[in-house]
Amino acid sequence: MSEHPFAQYVRILGKGPNLSRPLTQDEARAAVALILAGQVEPVQLGAFLCLLRVKTETPEEVAGFALAVRDSLNLPADFPRPDLDWPSYAGKARQLPLFILAALLLAGSGIRVSMHGTEGHTAGRLYTRETLAALGIPAAPSLTEAGQQLARANFTYVPLEVLNPHLLEIFELKRLLGLRSPLHTVARNLNPFDAKAALMSVFHPNYRAVHRDASRLIGMERIACFKGDGGEIERRPDKPCLVEGLIDGADFAEEWPALLSSGPGNTESSLDPARLAALWRGETSDHYSETVITATAAIALRLLGLAESPAQAEEAARTLWVERRRDAILA
């Protein structure tokens, strides 16, 4: 019997300490193309993902994986190019997902924000799709609708399964394997709609270089990566924040100073998205939360070239917050 075409990629990774090696970018792209086409057996997929995870992913593997996802998309010809890609996969456990208001603040100022993500892989967290639904913002049920939302409101949230249902299957294997898959890393580099710039968060600081170098291989020229709160793209204003990435293809690193002397205090007893709507409309006030929102938006403004320094970006974000249309965006 002839060998399965996917077997070669498992063999490259699994031949032992002396003969195994990382995949090249082209090999990773070809392997993931077979996965996304549904042409891989479950046992092969599990072995492949575990082998990648054990050795940790190289920039070439992350880039090949992300490019294969892009290759699999069937975007409408008139799909508008986003200004900012915003992956959201972690969920929030201790505090509300304030980063969502940062993204909506940018969208309200005319910046096209494409957000993508998934949920449910870790218990006890509030995820983006659920939060947006509570705010009256539906997830895009198709790529066509995603493009329409982006053109109409400068914002769309695209669930992972809308990008490709096999991606969601990979995420959900965590329940069976007990391990995060490489897709948890790759998701930050997907930028599925080729946005002009991308924000990324990391759990572990050493992954900053992986995301930066993978982005360069993909052809992205503007990315900003930092250690976000709970793994989401949300700045902690009570701590210094190292932001690294690319601007016009060149490496950059900036240390953003802390803005507040203390954190949010205790974990919130109830993660009620209605409080986000109240914050947006000015029905309640919370200095810490509002600082999180503007501090997060500031990094995006700096990345997009709309501010020349962190201080200028933070001032611009605070102005956007004060001048926001409180009757806009939210239902």
Cβ(75)–Cβ(103) under 8 Å?
Answer: no
Question: Residue 323: is it exposed, middle or buried by C-beta count within 10 angstroms (0-12/13-18/19+)?
Answer: exposed
| Distance of alpha carbon 51 from alpha carbon 11, whole angstroms | 10
| Distance of alpha carbon 92 from alpha carbon 124, whole angstroms | 8
| Distance of alpha carbon 95 from alpha carbon 231, whole angstroms | 12
Residue 153 CB partners (closer than 8 Å, separation 6+): 107, 329
Please, what sign has the CA dihedral across residues 218, 163, 296, 328? positive
Residue 152 CB partners (closer than 8 Å, separation 6+): none
Closest CA to 59 of 222, 212, 195: 212
User: pTM here?
Assistant: 0.94
| Number of Cβ atoms within 10 Å of the Cβ of 178 | 8
Closest CA to 212 of 167, 164, 244: 244
Q: Which domains does the chain have, with CATH numbers?
A: 7-72 (1.20.970.10), 84-323 (3.40.1030.10)
Closest CA to 210 of 66, 51, 57: 57
Closest CA to 277 of 135, 138, 137: 135
Q: Using a CB cutoff of 8 Å and minimum separation of 24, what contacts does 123-126 make?
A: 124/93, 125/90, 125/91, 125/92, 125/93, 126/91, 126/92, 126/93, 126/96, 126/97, 126/271, 126/273
Residue 170 CB partners (closer than 8 Å, separation 6+): 35, 45, 49, 181, 183
Cβ(109)–Cβ(320) under 8 Å?
Answer: yes
| Distance of alpha carbon 330 from alpha carbon 121, whole angstroms | 27
Cβ(200)–Cβ(62) under 8 Å?
Answer: no
Average pLDDT by stretches of 10, the chain with 331 residues: 94 93 98 97 95 93 98 96 97 93 97 94 82 95 97 97 94 86 93 98 87 97 95 95 96 97 72 93 94 98 97 98 85 51
Q: What's the angle, vertex CA 238, arms to CA 236 and CA 244, rounded to 5? A: 50
Residue 188 has what DSSP assignment?
Answer: G
| Number of Cβ atoms within 10 Å of the Cβ of 110 | 8
Question: Residue 217: is it exposed, middle or buried by C-beta count within 10 angstroms (0-12/13-18/19+)?
Answer: middle
| Distance of alpha carbon 213 from alpha carbon 217, whole angstroms | 6
Token pair for residue 69?
Answer: 């996802």
Residue 47 has what DSSP assignment?
Answer: H
